[in-house]
Amino acid sequence: MHILLIEDEPGIARFLKQGLEEEGYAVDVADTGPAGLAQAQARPYDLLLVDWMLPGLTGLELCRQLRAARHAEPLIFLTAKDTVQDTVAGLQAGANDYIKKPFHFDELLERIRVQLRHAPAPGAAERFTVGPIVLDVATHQVFRDGQEVALTQKEFALLEYLLRHKGTVCRRQSIIEQVWDIHFEYNTGVIDVYMNALRKKLRLSKEDEYLHAIRGVGYVARD
Parse the chain into domains and list their residue ranges. Answer: 2-118, 127-221
- The superfamily CATH assigns to domain 2-118 is Response regulator (3.40.50.2300)
Q: Which CATH class is domain 127-221?
A: mainly alpha
Predicted confidence at residue 90, as pLDDT, reads 79
Name the pTM for this structure: 0.54
pLDDT in tens, 92-102: 888 888 888 88
Q: What is the pLDDT of residues 42-97, one digit of tens each?
A: 888 889 999 989 999 999 999 999 988 878 889 999 987 767 777 777 788 888 88
pLDDT value for 123: 47
Q: Which helix (H) or strand (E) holds 115?
A: helix 105-118
Residue of 33, 2, 4 whose CA lies nearest to 123: 2
pLDDT at 44: 82
In this predicted model, which residue has the larger pLDDT, 23 or 5? 5
Residue 50 pairs with which residues in a beta bridge?
6, 77
